[in-house]
Amino acid sequence: MKQRAVKIAACALIGTMALTSFQLNTSATGVSSILPAAGLSLILGEGVLPTTMKTEESTGEVKTGEIKAANKDAAEVTIEDVLDTTLPATSIVDKVEEPTKAEDTNVVEPDVIVPEADKTTVSENAVTEDTTTVSENAVDAGLTEEEKGFRSLVIAKVNDYVNVRSDASEESEIVGKLYDKSVGEFISEKDGWYEIESGSCTGYVKAEYVVTGDDAIALAKEVGTRIATVTTTTLKVREQPGMDAAVLGLVPIEDELTVQEELDGWVKVSIEEGEGYVSNEFVSLSTEFVKAESKAQEEARLAKEEAERVAANAAAKKAIEAQKKFKDSNSTKTSSSSESVATPAVSAGSGTGSSVASFATQFVGNPYVYGGTSLTNGTDCSGFVMSVYKNYGISLPHSSGAQRSVGSDVGGLGNAQPGDIVCYSGHVGIYIGGGQIVHASTAATGIKISNASYRNVLSVRRIF
């Protein structure tokens, strides 16, 4: 009778524990599987509630514990006896582990559940798209539409030139040459080769010898020459950007000026008198690039240059002979009565080129006249070069911009020889050797001799 009373009391105890949400620090699986096997014993006193229960939280195992009662003579009851008449252990555990409202407010569930395999793809796509957009926006910031178009250029970055071939193979035919810093338009890519169009040449260049895309934008600004071509009969270059500013100099139609800076409605340019400003209403702006030379163009150029050289040399010999006869027939002055006139020395070069340089220096001191062509009464810079070469049977245009395209390019001032035409922004002169030129400079100075590198040299052209 006494044992049955104890069991009933134990059952009541378990029910009380469930109703009062007695907290257990173990999982439902741990309790339901370990308690029955552990032989847990409870020491209960009649009418006395439990006060302590020991557990081990780290392993989830419930250790055998003691619930001490005030009555030392209380009977010992095994857990098996208790479970015979109590609720299932899982009922207690389920009640304990149920989340409280406070816990629910801290749980944040995503709106969309992305599988782990898809998360990587979504993340990579997001980074790729954002990075590409940010990168392009960063590069394009502050660029003009023309400069954005430089992304489609293919620019040679070599010591001399890269061959342009008929197909994407080193065994294919060479159809042209893309010289260092020369530019072509990108067409397509094939097996590490770029198909380009440059000038009259279309073909393939090896990708490793050129740059394109974003890299081409920066390089194009370095290798390209920004040009303002005069579209009015006579253009006034002013000291400041404004119609009321003083006139610095005059430039004829079709002349080409190097752009220093582009402002709102005005362009800063370089002329012989210095740097000034022109209204962009009277010029057309463009970026000038060196293009590829096709094989046919190279052969035609070499043949033309040779023919011109032969004809020029023949004409020059006649001119030299005529000059000699003229000097001999007019040399009536004796050494005692004649005045000595110093003539600048001319460095050795080709016979005809040296003759051109020597002939040009005799007009030093004569006046500069805008639009003039007279070596004695007045001439401007291109008129001076044109008139000197006319004396040797060579017809040249009366424009410094146009003279930048005559003859052949010698590859810079370091390769210049006497007689070569040295071209600047809006100005030209004749190289006489020793790092010097003779040129019709300004109205203030007339025809004079200057260091050839006194301004940025755009090109050096050779006739003889």
Residue 362 confidence (pLDDT): 95
Do 196 and 154 share a structural domain?
yes
For residue 359, tell me if it sits in a domain: yes
Position 47 pLDDT exceeds 80: no
Q: Which 8-state DSSP code applies to residue 291?
A: -
**Domain's final residue, options 194, 222, 250:** 222
Position 392 pLDDT exceeds 50: yes
Residue 93 confidence (pLDDT): 40
Residue 17 confidence (pLDDT): 52
Could you give the number of structural domains in the chain?
A: 4
For residue 127, tell me if it sits in a domain: no
| 5, two tokens | 């009373």
Rounded Cα distance, 31 and 21, in Å = 15
Place of tokens 């000595």: 340
- Do 441 and 454 contact (CB within 8 A), yes or no? no
Residue 76 confidence (pLDDT): 47
Position 22 pLDDT exceeds 50: no
**Domain's final residue, options 222, 239, 268:** 222
Domain limits at 30? 2-101
- pLDDT tens per residue across span 209-263: 999 999 999 899 889 989 999 999 999 999 999 999 999 999 999 899 999 999 9
**C-alpha dist (Å) from residue 94 to 24, 26, 29, 97, 289:** 10, 11, 10, 5, 81
Residue 305 confidence (pLDDT): 74
Rounded Cα distance, 69 and 50, in Å = 7
Residue 162 confidence (pLDDT): 95
Residue 1 confidence (pLDDT): 52
Do 248 and 196 share a structural domain?
no
- pLDDT tens per residue across span 70-98: 444 444 444 444 444 444 444 434 444 44
Do 263 and 214 share a structural domain?
no
For residue 55, tell me if it sits in a domain: yes
Rounded Cα distance, 308 and 393, in Å = 11
Rounded Cα distance, 69 and 13, in Å = 13
Flag the least confident range among 107-121, 122-136, 251-265, 324-338: 107-121
For residue 239, tell me if it sits in a domain: yes
Q: Which 8-state DSSP code applies to residue 155?
A: E
CATH number of the domain that residue 177 is part of:
2.30.30.40
Do 259 and 173 share a structural domain?
no
Residue 225: in which H helix or E strand, if any?
strand 225-230
Residue 454: in which H helix or E strand, if any?
none
Residue among 201, 381, 398, 423 flagged as catalytic? 381
Residue 53 confidence (pLDDT): 41
Residue 400 confidence (pLDDT): 93
Higher pLDDT among residues 199 and 79, named by residue: 199
Flag the least confident range among 139-148, 171-180, 323-332, 355-364: 323-332
Rounded Cα distance, 244 and 118, in Å = 68
What is the percent of the chain where pLDDT is above 70? 63
Query: If you average pLDDT over residues 332-340, what whole number do you get?
Result: 45
> Whole-prediction pTM value?
0.55
For residue 84, tell me if it sits in a domain: yes
Rounded Cα distance, 157 and 206, in Å = 11
Rounded Cα distance, 458 and 409, in Å = 10
Do 205 and 232 share a structural domain?
no
Rounded Cα distance, 334 and 336, in Å = 5
3-state DSSP assignment of residue 268: strand
Residue 153 confidence (pLDDT): 96
Residue 62 confidence (pLDDT): 36
3-state DSSP assignment of residue 189: strand
3-state DSSP assignment of residue 236: strand
Q: Biggest alpha carbon distance in the chain? A: 166
Residue 145 confidence (pLDDT): 84
Rounded Cα distance, 382 and 388, in Å = 10
Residue 139 — very low, low, confident or very high, per pLDDT cuts 50/70/90?
A: low
Q: Which 8-state DSSP code applies to residue 180?
A: T
| 84, two tokens | 């015979």
Residue 301 confidence (pLDDT): 80
Separation of CA 327 from chain center:
60
pLDDT, averaged across the chain: 75
- Do 364 and 375 contact (CB within 8 A), yes or no? no
Phi, psi of 250 (to 5 degrees): -120, 145
Residue 398 a catalytic site member: no
For residue 305, tell me if it sits in a domain: no
Q: What per-residue string of b and e applies to 54-72 under the rule 16 or more CB within 10 Å gives b?
A: eeeeeeeebeeeebebeee
Position 20 pLDDT exceeds 60: no
Flag the least confident range among 49-53, 136-140, 185-189, 244-248: 49-53
Do 207 and 236 share a structural domain?
no
Residue 309 confidence (pLDDT): 74
Helix axes 351-361, 381-390, angle to 10 degrees: 130
Closest by alpha carbon to 353, among 381, 382, 322, 389?
Answer: 389
Position 331 pLDDT exceeds 70: no
State which amino acid sits at residue 457.
V
| 309, two tokens | 């050289």
Higher pLDDT among residues 360 and 75, named by residue: 360
Residue 201 a catalytic site member: no
- Do 64 and 41 contact (CB within 8 A), yes or no? yes
